[in-house]
């Protein structure tokens, strides 16, 4: 029984924002079905703009920019006229890609936890 409670608390990542989902006792009965960290993420879901941001990040890392690119550069590529409006969407896309093992987030030369990173960061391709 103790191993069940430990495995029930395996780390999960929100399908929308890419942040770590903290286990809650009220989710114990349906932990396997939990996909969202909050009602806000559930209601917004993953939209076409989210997938577009993921695509731009992947393309930039693989073909254009080499091994790293900043979240600001991706925001300007996704929306040249209003990069500030898509910046959080780009950050969410980067966090989702970290969760899938495509890349990692770097600040000041150090890899950072995507759930707690603040400010601008570089997105670095994992080799």
pLDDT tier at 5, thresholds 50, 70, 90 = very low
Which CATH number does the domain 48-125 belong to among 3.90.79.10, 3.20.20.70, 1.10.10.10, 2.130.10.10?
1.10.10.10
Kindly state the helix (H) or strand (E) to which residue 112 belongs, with its residue range.
strand 110-112
Mean pLDDT of the 77-97 span: 94
- The one-character DSSP state at 63 is I
Is the pLDDT at 69 greater than 50? The verdict is yes
Per-residue pLDDT of 117-127, as tens digits, reads 888 999 999 87
- The Cα 105–Cα 125 span in angstroms is 9
Break the chain into its structural domains and give their ranges: 2-44, 48-125
Q: What is the pLDDT of residues 94-105, one digit of tens each?
A: 999 999 999 999
Given a cut of 50, whether residue 27 has pLDDT beyond it is yes
73, 31 contact by CB (below 8 A): no
Report strand pairing: 12-13 vs 20-21: antiparallel
Q: What are phi and psi of 112, to 5 degrees?
A: -120, 160
């Amino acid at each position: 029984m103790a191993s069940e409670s430990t495995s029930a608390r395996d780390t999960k990542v929100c399908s929308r924002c890419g942040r770590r989902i903290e286990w809650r006792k009220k989710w114990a009965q349906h932990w396997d079905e939990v996909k969202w960290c909050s009602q806000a993420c559930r209601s917004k879901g993953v939209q076409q703009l989210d997938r577009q941001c993921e695509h731009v990040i992947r393309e930039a890392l693989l073909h254009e920019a080499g091994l790293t690119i900043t979240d600001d550069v991706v925001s300007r590529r996704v929306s040249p006229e209003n990069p500030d409006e898509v910046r959080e969407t780009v950050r969410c896309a980067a966090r989702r890609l970290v969760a899938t093992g495509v890349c990692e987030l770097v600040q000041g030369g150090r890899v950072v936890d995507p759930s707690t990173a603040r400010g601008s960061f570089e997105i670095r391709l994992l080799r």
